[in-house]
Amino acid sequence: MKIGIIGAGGVGSALAVHFRKLQHAVQIANSRGPETLSKVAEETGTTAVAISDVAKGVDLLVIAIPEKSVPLLPKDLLGALPSGAPIVDTGNYYPQRDGLIAQIEGGMTESEWVSSVLGRPVIKAFNNIFTYSIINGGLPKGSQTRIALPISGEDMKAKQLLIALLDGMGFDGIDAGPLSESWRQQPGTPAYCTDYNAEVLRGALASANIAIASQMRDAGFQTVMSLPPDTPPEEIVRFARAQWTTFA
């Protein structure tokens, strides 16, 4: 496949490395231009392109930028995206980082909001796993502790494509239903950054509680921000699990 990635930070770069290992052609863009991405392109084996070109001719487009930046994407960006090419939203909403987004505060799921801003359907995936685990957490199919990731959206064909892609990366993909249910994988839920296997993840998604999700998200954000910068990523996953004693 040819894959476009918007955002060359933690998530965009980690996904780029996996996609290249799987022999996909990857073009990557940020807001500042390809000349600022030569190091990233060299390290990940991708082609740095202008934001206006990142969707051109791709089979899959991944958006890996902060939520607050989505409305800043060029308006004509998606005109170049071939029809039928899925858009994957990896984003999360943190009001402390993104400012208040009224529609999400009003109950829209994050990715429904992204979809409404873009005017195109999106699939939510890769949002609930730390970049450390994306890079280091892949395991062979059938491993008891293989991390599973939820995939939400309406496009069944796109979800199957992503499940196959995840499998190649060393993860199980789980169809988590339509975008309206994707709050179950947002920050503040038991599925968020807990690196569970498929069986436990299904239980985590089912028992998510929308009434406490934003409160848990904000508490989690504060805790993670207060941790020393050298806190081992495994410890942060342990902390995320410990919030949900039912699943720990």
Ligand X SMILES: NC(=O)c1ccc[n+]([C@@H]2O[C@H](COP(=O)([O-])OP(=O)(O)OC[C@H]3O[C@@H](n4cnc5c(N)ncnc54)[C@H](OP(=O)(O)O)[C@@H]3O)[C@@H](O)[C@H]2O)c1
Minimum CB–partner distance for residue 112 and ligand X (Å): 15
Q: Which of 16, 24, 55, 67 binds ligand X (CB under 6 A)?
A: 67
- Asked if 12 interacts with ligand X (CB under 6 A), we say yes
Question: How far is residue 47's CA from residue 39's CA, in Å, rounded to a whole number?
Answer: 11
Structure tokens at 61: 């487009």
Contact flags string 87-116 toward ligand X, x per CB under 6 A: ---xxx------------------------
Q: Which amino acid is at 237?
A: V
- Whose tokens are 């995206």? That residue is 81
Contacts with ligand X in 120-159 (CB under 6 A)? 126-127, 129-131
- Which residue type is seen at 116? S
On whether the CB atoms of residues 29 and 50 are closer than 8 A, the answer is: yes
Which residue from 72, 212, 219, 225 is in contact with ligand X, where contact means CB under 6 A?
A: 72
d(CA 116, CA 108): 10
Task: Build a one-symbol-per-residue string for 40-59: x at contacts with ligand X by CB under 6 A, - elsewhere.
Answer: -----------x--------
Alpha-carbon separation of residue 223 from 80, 91, 210, 220 (angstroms): 41, 20, 20, 5
Residues near ligand X (CB under 6 A) are 6-12, 30-32, 51, 64-67, 69, 72-73, 90-92, 126-127, 129-131
